[in-house]
Amino acid sequence: MARQPNGTVHAHSSGTPPPVSTSRKVRRRGPIDVVDAKVAVDLATAQTYSENVFLFVPNLIGYTRIILAGLSLHFMSYHPRYCTILYGISCLLDAVDGQAARALGQTSKFGAVLDMVTDRCTTSCLLCYLSSAYPSYALLFQFLIALDFSSHYMHMYSSLVTGSRSHKLVTSDVSRILWYYYNDSRTLFFMCAGNELFFVALYLMKWIQSPISESLAPGIASFLPALLLTLTWPEIMAISSFWVCFAKNIINIVQLWKASKILVGVDLAERAAAREKEATDREKKA
pLDDT tens digit sequence for 241-267: 999 999 999 999 999 999 999 999 999
Torsion region of 200: left, alpha or beta (phi above 0 gives left; psi -120 to 50 gives alpha): alpha
Q: What is the pTM of this model?
A: 0.84
Type and span of the H or E element at 9? strand 9-10
Residue range(s) occupied by CATH 1.20.120.1760 in the chain: 51-133
CA–CA gap between residue 58 and residue 104 (Å, rounded): 9
Which band of pLDDT confidence, cut at 50, 70 and 90, is reported for residue 226?
A: confident
> Which has more confidence, 41 or 15?
41
Query: Is 94 an active-site residue?
Result: no
Among the listed residues 94, 97, 115, 119, the single catalytic one is 119
Q: Which residues, in sequence order, are CB contacts of 103 under 8 Å at separation 6+?
A: none
C-alpha 234: how far from chain center: 26
CA dist 240 and 198 (Å) reads 8
- Distance in angstroms (rounded) separating the CA atoms of residues 47 and 44: 5
Q: Which CATH class is domain 51-133?
A: mainly alpha
